[in-house]
Amino acid sequence: MTYIELSAWFVGAAAVAAIVLSLVSRHRPHLTAMVVTIVALFLLTAVFDTIMIATGLFHYSPDHLLGVHIGLAPLEDFAYPLAGAILLPALWAALRGRLRGRDRESAAPDGGAS
């Protein structure tokens, strides 16, 4: 399996999980915040992966890479921040919605009892 195949599965799983979380939750992540987060994470990944690869902390087998690099970082390295920026805001919104629902129930005059 190549790194791009692994990355595609990883991003795909994150996207499916984010969609499911968004469907079961009434709260949606803010698209603008996700885009800003993706840009910031891509910049940080490009800088710090380039530094780590240049210093020899790790390397990739060229046989399993596409061959496209940003700095010294292979394109496949950007899948993980992309997956995180897709999944984590959806998870955060879903959990925040659950907590707000619980707070409303406990603030009800009868203590949330039915």
Q: What is the mean pLDDT of residues 43-64?
A: 92
- Residue 113 pLDDT class (50, 70, 90 cuts): low
Within-domain flag for 110: no
Q: Is residue 104 part of a domain?
A: no
In tens, the pLDDT along 58-101 reads: 888 888 888 899 999 999 999 999 999 999 888 888 888 766 66
Q: Which residues form the domain of 49?
A: 3-99
Structural domain contains residue 58: yes
Q: Is residue 42 part of a domain?
A: yes
The answer to whether residue 83 sits within a structural domain is: yes
Instruction: Report pLDDT digits (tens) over 12-42.
Output: 999 999 999 988 887 777 888 888 889 999 9
Q: Could you tell me if residue 113 is inside a domain?
A: no
49-55: long-range contacts, CB 8 A cutoff, minimum separation 24:
49/73, 49/77
69 DSSP β-pair partners: 74
The answer to whether residue 56 sits within a structural domain is: yes
Residue 64 has a pLDDT of: 85
pTM over 0.95: no
Structural domain tally of the chain? 1
Residue 106 belongs to a domain: no
The count of other CB atoms within 10 Å of the CB of residue 106 is 9
